[in-house]
Amino acid sequence: MEKNRLKHIREQKQMSQSDLSRKSSVSQPQISRYEKDRKMNEDDIRKICKALEVSADYLLGLIDDDNDMKKD
């Protein structure tokens, strides 16, 4: 994951780590670790992408265009 991409998206959506934790069912400490460049597991990627309404490609830094963000 591109450094701080998760944090950047979360802050763009005006969410705290706790907000994202509640919406994604991923613990707040785990979200904090992911924001510090810990490798994400596939299940958490899916949960976080759904909560943030972004594609995995965008979250993982494979695409850079914010216009490629998706809504489910």
> Residue 6's pLDDT band (boundaries 50, 70, 90)?
very high
Can you give the pLDDT at residue 71? 46
Q: Is the pTM of this model over 0.75?
A: yes
pLDDT, one tens digit per residue, over 20-39 is 999 999 999 999 999 998 89
Q: What are phi and psi of 30, to 5 degrees?
A: -70, -40
Residue spans of the domains in the chain: they are: 5-62
pLDDT, one tens digit per residue, over 42-64 is 999 999 999 999 999 999 988 98
Distances from the Cα of 4 to the Cα of 8, 22, 45, 72, angstroms: 6, 20, 15, 23
For every residue of the chain, DSSP letters joined together read: --TTHHHHHHHHTT--HHHHHHHHT--HHHHHHHHTTPPPPHHHHHHHHHHHT--HHHHTTS---GGG----
5-62: CATH architecture: Orthogonal Bundle (1.10)
> Residue 3's pLDDT band (boundaries 50, 70, 90)?
low
